[in-house]
Amino acid sequence: MSFPTSSEQPWKPATHQIYIQETGRYFDVCFFSPPTNSAIILLDITERTRAEEALQEKTRELERVNLELEQLATVFTHVREGVIITDPDGTIIDVNKAFCQISGYARDELIGQNPRLLKSGVHSPEFYSRMWQSLQSDGHWSGEIWNRHKNGKNLAVLLTISGVRDTTGATRHFVALHADISAQKEHQHQLEFIAHYDTLTGLPNRKLFDDRLHQAMVQSKRHQQPLAVVYIDLDGFKAINDNYGHDAGDHLLQAIGEQMKACLRESDTLARFGGDEFVAVLVDLADIHTSTPYIKRMLAAAAHPVAYQGHQLQVSSSIGVAFFTPADDSAADQLLRQADQAMYQAKMAGKNRYHIFDLTHDLALRDHNDNLAVIRRALKNNEFVLFYQPRVNMRSGEVVGMEALIRWQHPDRGFLAPKAFLPEVEKHPLDMAIGEWVLTQALNQIADWQALGFTLPISVNVTANHLQHIDFTARLQQLLAAHPNMIPGSLSLEVQLNCQPDKIPRLSTAIAACKNIGIDVTLDDFGSGCISLDYLHRLAARAIKIDRRFVHDTPNGGQEQTVLQGILALASAYQRQPIAAGVETIAQGEMLLDLLCELAQGYVIAEPMPATAIPGWLSNWKPDSSWYHRPVK
């Protein structure tokens, strides 16, 4: 086909472009108008069109890729996580600014290096081997890792590594994201410290100690070695706080904690339970005696003076020790209780010492505590009663008074004598509670007899511990005030002597205070134990009661009679009224009268009896004929 030239009729440019679906091709439509007839020319532009479309698509693709690269570059530059890009062999080909800030290295110091540059030495070779195996098999790995900063310090990092593969599946790059979690780790460490350590001393607290004690007990059985639990309580710590302030107390606790910890080995544990209580567990002992040097060192460390703002702060300690052996089945809390009990024994023994837990003593202590509980319940349930034993002048037959004697009307065992239960309450608050109950009942009984027309003074036994209590006299005055019509002299007290010279001043003061309010005191069981002339001189007692041993054995003569004569001579010299206890035969009464001891009580006169039996006894009482108006020799 030929086309007209421009000198002929000119072409009219294509005004349309069409696509013929049947042929799948593109055409330009051109119009030609010769003089006679018009024609339409179709020009095939399929290849050109497709090339243009491909070029346009390529241009759009490049624009999209450029946009993505710009976005990636923005992310790479501004993301807060550190980013490393490596080749398949691990050589670093790029890092972002955040990673440089995290690691401390400049970008040019890292390019071309291997990430092994960051190894901290914390992890084992096996750790990195497992990481590489995961990357090879799964194409990714994530977890926490410790890296080394350029300055040499280790930092915790949350690391995610991903492999970038090409269309064939081969790894082209590795991309690693690093998030610095050192601050979170430090916060976690602080929380764990607070949870497991004492914030004042830095020592383990009760929770961590319990865990270590359990572990130590397992190791003890495994290695067949004993361990020791050591309970330490500071003596006199409250005075430090009171005199110097709590800051001084805290300083002292810190210093003592450090000093005692220095006495132990790395394998041992010293913990603070709070206040001024510390507990240690000593492990790897060859035998229980191996612990002794460490215990003594801790005792000395606790007593070592501590300087504070120009003052020397000093306390001592009471230490209790309990042992666990591989053959034991004791639980951890039981060991602690045993050590705690032993510590209290050390404190009661005088402080500044240690005491080793004794199972036999512990069983006895448990029995003692059980007995105290039963006695306390008996007092609450009004199971105690008072019996009365008459005291008479054997020569004249006059009834000079009654001694109140406590009995326990036990629901199962019947009436129990004082020796069956009073020793249990010695030096215990129950001693004073029972003593006050006896005083109250005796005063009520005096009032009842007085209402019936009997004037019968009652003598009440009180312990030296009760008599010397700071509130005894005041409380006695309150009880007396409840009986304003009581005849003076109707109540007197009896107290047993002891052999503690340091207690004499307090006992003397207590007896004098009773005398000032009209209450006479008799020294009971005189002649037993220690006898000191100083007692009679310093104690303003009205009378002395002679121990029954000298009354029983005297009729046979011998040393006891000599002692009895000496006691009576002392009573006369110091103007104290002698009273004989335990008179059980007529011959004993005769001997006492011949020695000028007229006042007595005992079974030959009358056994202790309930208050209801006293009026009947009074109506029938008369002295033996050999006593009555017996001539004075």
pLDDT digits (tens, 9 = 90+) for 401-439: 999 999 999 999 999 999 999 999 988 899 999 999 999
Residue 412 sits in the same domain as residue 526? yes
Query: What confidence tier does 270 reach under pLDDT thresholds 50, 70, 90?
Result: very high
Per-residue pLDDT at 549 = 83
Q: Quick check: is 576 in a domain?
A: yes
Q: Give the contacts of 572 (CB within 8 A, at least 6 positions apart).
A: 596
pLDDT band of 2, cuts 50, 70, 90: very low
Q: How far apart are CA 594 and CA 580, in angstroms?
A: 13
- Give residue 506's pLDDT: 86
- Tell me: do 430 and 506 sit in the same domain: yes
Residues 3-39 pLDDT 10s: 444 444 455 555 567 777 777 787 777 766 665 566 6
479 is a domain residue:
yes
Least confident of 159-173, 251-265, 443-457, 554-568: 554-568
* Residue that the structure tokens 């120009």 belong to: 310
DSSP string, 362-415: HHHHHHHHHHHHHHHHHHHTT-EEEEEEEEEETTT--EEEEEEEEEEEETTTEE
DSSP state for residue 503 in the 8-state scheme: G
Task: Specify the CATH number for the domain of residue 222.
Answer: 3.30.70.270
pLDDT score for 401 = 96
Whether 556 is covered by a domain: the verdict is yes
Average pLDDT over residues 272-289: 94
Q: What is the pLDDT of residue 607?
A: 96
CATH number, position 601: 3.20.20.450
Instruction: Supply angle C-alpha 204, 208, 214, rounded to 5.
Output: 130
pLDDT digit string, tens, across residues 294-350 = 999 999 999 999 999 999 999 999 999 999 988 888 889 999 999 999 999 899 889
The answer to whether position 257 is within a domain reads yes
Domain membership of residue 58 (yes or no) is no
> Is position 380 within any domain?
yes
pLDDT band, very low/low/confident/very high, at 137 (cuts 50, 70, 90): confident
Asked if the model's pLDDT at residue 354 lies above 70, the reply is yes
Question: What's the DSSP call for residue 310?
Answer: T
User: pLDDT band at residue 253, thresholds of 50, 70 and 90?
Assistant: very high
Contact 320, 340 (CB under 8 A): yes
Confidence of residue 175 (pLDDT cuts 50, 70, 90): confident
Residue 38, domain member (yes or no): no
Q: What residues contact 408, with CB distance under 8 A and at least 6 apart?
A: 378, 383, 384, 415, 416, 420, 421
Which helix (H) or strand (E) element contains residue 247?
A: helix 246-261
pLDDT of residue 632: 86
State the Cα angle at 395 between 390 and 397, rounded to 5°.
Answer: 45
627 in Cβ contact with 593 (< 8 Å): yes
pLDDT of residue 3: 45
* 451 and 381 inside one domain: yes
Judge if 340 and 425 occupy the same domain: no
Report whether pLDDT(362) > 70: yes
406/278 same-domain check: no
Rg (CA), the chain: 52
Assess whether 610 and 518 both reside in one domain: yes
Q: Which residue from 403, 409, 467, 389 is spatially nearest to 435, judged by alpha carbons?
A: 467
Of the candidates 257, 260, 268, which has an alpha carbon nearest to the alpha carbon of residue 215? 268
pLDDT attached to residue 49: 78
Single residue among 157, 186, 215 that ends a domain in this structure: 186
Give the 3-state secondary structure of 446-474: HHHHHHCCCCCCEEEEECHHHHCCCCHHH
Q: What is the pLDDT of residues 483-514, one digit of tens each?
A: 999 999 999 999 987 656 667 888 889 999 99
pLDDT for 63 beyond 70: no
- Domain-ending residue, one of 303, 322, 357: 357
Cβ-proximal residues to 295 (8 Å cutoff; 6+ apart), any chain? 228, 230, 319, 321, 354
* Burial classification of residue 371, based on how many CB atoms lie within 10 Å of its CB (0-12 exposed, 13-18 middle, 19 or more buried): middle
SS3 568: helix
CATH number of the domain that 167 lies in? 3.30.450.20
Q: Which of 151, 186, 221 is the last residue of a domain?
A: 186
In this prediction, residue 45 carries a pLDDT of 77
Q: Model pTM greater than 0.85?
A: no
Q: Which of 267, 363, 283 shows the shortest CA–CA distance to 326?
A: 283
Per-residue model confidence (pLDDT) at position 212? 94
Query: Does 497 share its domain with 439?
Result: yes
- The whole-number pLDDT of residue 538 equals 82
Question: So what's the pLDDT on residue 48?
Answer: 78
Please give the mean pLDDT across all residues of the chain: 87
Pull the structure tokens for residue 531: 């006898």
Residues 145 and 270 in one domain: no
Q: Indicate left, alpha or beta for 11 from its phi (over 0: left) and psi (-120 to 50: alpha).
A: beta
pLDDT (0 to 100) of residue 5 = 46
| In-domain check, residue 48 | no
Whether the per-residue pLDDT at 58 is higher than 80: the answer is no
Does residue 199 sit in the same domain as residue 175? no
Q: What is the C-alpha separation between 545 and 564, in angstroms, rounded?
A: 11
* Same domain membership, residue 375 and residue 339: no
Number of domains composing the chain:
3
What is the dihedral sign for C-alpha 349, 350, 355, 357?
positive
Q: What are phi and psi of 574, to 5 degrees?
A: -95, 10
In this model, does residue 1 exceed pLDDT 80?
A: no
pLDDT given for residue 611 in this prediction:
96
Q: Are residues 182 and 201 in the same domain?
A: no
Would you call 21 exposed, middle or buried from its count of C-beta atoms within 10 A (0-12, 13-18, 19+)?
exposed
Tokens 């709590």 found at: 246
Q: Please report, rounded to a whole number, the percentage of residues in the chain having pLDDT higher than 70.
A: 90
- Same domain for 407 and 313, yes or no, is no
Taking the C-alpha atoms of 109, 114, 115 and 119 in order, what is their torsion angle to the nearest 10 degrees? -100
Write out the residue range of the structural domain in which residue 104 sits.
79-186
**How do residues 511-538 score in pLDDT, each as one tens digit?**
999 999 999 999 988 866 555 666 777 8
Q: Which residue has the higher pLDDT, 550 or 71?
A: 550
**Token code pair at residue 64:** 């999209």
Given the structure tokens 């206890």, which residue do they identify?
581
d(CA 443, CA 354): 46
